[in-house]
Amino acid sequence: MSNAIRTLSPSTNKLIYEHPGTSLEEARQLAISAQDAHKSWKQVPLSERKSIILKALELIKANKETLAEELTSQMGRPIAFATKEIDTMRKRADYLLDIVDDSLKNLPGQPEDGFRRFLKKEPIGVVFIATAWNFPYLITISTILPALLAGNAVLLRPSPQTPLIGERFLSFFTEAGLPPHLFQLIHCGSLDVLDQIVALPQINLVSFTGSTAGGMRIREATARRVVPVNLELGGNDPAYVRPDADLAYVAAQLVDGAVFNSGQSCCSVERVYVHADVHDAFVHEVQKELATYKLGDPADQSTTTGPVISQQAVKTINAHIADALAKGAVDATPDNATFSAPPPDGNYVAPKVLVNVSHDMRTMREETFGPVMPIMKVASDDEAVALMNDTDFGLTASVWTKDVSAAEGLMDRLEAGTVFVNRCDYPSPDLAWIGWKNSGLGCTLGPHGFDAFYKLKSFHIKEQQA
């Protein structure tokens, strides 16, 4: 398999970037130089590290319109929403900067006369970070920022679909004054080569964001080394609409949660369970909402839904839809002229509403990762919870109701790393972003957002020899 990268724009399928790929030997040399850079960087005061990071963030802010256009070209998000990711990235970064001093301070031991004991948080060393294409600025900042602030060196492998994000981060951090070799790029288009790179002995931590299958492969590739692995993986995230919910409000929120970014989010709403008392009325509200959406060219400011990432994604999404229809699902998608006449050259999949679905269908069991909204009728809270937990994934889940107290009782029973009431599809920077089951290992963000990027060293000092 070639290690070269050829990035095609999802909206045109035209080539927009290519790179021969970083060889294993080149990656080894990058890792060795990163080791040397780390030794000096960890001695730099935290205040100076923060200052460099802030300068880089300001450079990103100053260039966000250009970066947004590049983002739309690389992964197809409508330009109307592209700058929002960079704004949200800054909020994440500011949160991490706010908590870094407390997160990295020493931890005292118990007082004892004649002794001093404490725990010091030491940087890991060389951190290999592989990020995904669907929210590349958000995903990347959640890992490179704590890694660098904690005193580590970073080898970043940007997704082959959004390679320019890596190039821009490198350029801005270099301009901001980050020392040479502390932040370096590895472009890799071959999973076989990636397996070899993550096994390099110079790498002290592997952080991967992507599919569950990709995360499993990373674990296998690192299995013969005692090296920590952080995984942010896929989801099949459920929502439950109780009979007292404000249906118009909830329909608007869940359509957005299912269709935003063309459904290409690990935490997008992939399954909706609706109490039988309001099922039909809810479906009607969903249809009204989705009828206002516009599928089309992502460069058009009026477009709400752009292409999916690739022709393979088109095939997978359509296969899930076909499987559901063959097993008895009913297509309840509203009439929408843009859904039936998308631009001719891109990877367009019209949003789809399916009813009469069951857990025999792939779209209810697997991650569809597309603008598909299956809606299933349930008779009670208990049935809804049982079905929501009937999955190998556990990233997020949401409950929609006016009775917040009742929802909180259901939250405790849901098997997911993040549970929402009357909200969905939003990783808050002050909470841990963590996957249960096959949705991940370790966490980013929140008060423990730095934990993966340091190791503990115990200091035990007896004040006198006698």
Residues belonging to the active site: 232
Which uninterrupted H or E stretch holds 240? strand 237-241
Place of tokens 């959004």: 162
Structure-block tokens of residue 374 = 């299956």
Place of tokens 């502390």: 182
d(Cα 319, Cα 352) in Å, to the nearest integer? Answer: 13
d(Cα 209, Cα 125) in Å, to the nearest integer? Answer: 20
d(Cα 441, Cα 152) in Å, to the nearest integer? Answer: 20
- Mapped onto helix, strand or coil, the DSSP state of residue 139 is helix
d(Cα 57, Cα 80) in Å, to the nearest integer? Answer: 22
Give me the phi and psi of 250, to 5 degrees please: -65, -40
Q: To 5 degrees, how large is the angle CA 217–CA 142–CA 363?
A: 50
End-to-end CA separation in angstroms for the chain: 66
Percent helix, strand, coil in the chain, to 5, is 40, 20, 40
d(Cα 223, Cα 200) in Å, to the nearest integer? Answer: 12
Residue 120, class by beta-carbon neighbours within 10 Å (0-12 exposed, 13-18 middle, 19+ buried)?
A: middle
d(Cα 435, Cα 442) in Å, to the nearest integer? Answer: 8
Q: Which of 232, 266, 239, 243 is nearest to 254 (CA)?
A: 239
Strands 153-157 and 183-185, sheet pairing: parallel
d(Cα 251, Cα 282) in Å, to the nearest integer? Answer: 7
DSSP structural state of residue 423: -
Helix boundaries (H) for 76-211: 79-104, 136-149, 163-175, 191-198
Residue 459, class by beta-carbon neighbours within 10 Å (0-12 exposed, 13-18 middle, 19+ buried)?
A: exposed
d(Cα 418, Cα 395) in Å, to the nearest integer? Answer: 6
d(Cα 258, Cα 162) in Å, to the nearest integer? Answer: 22
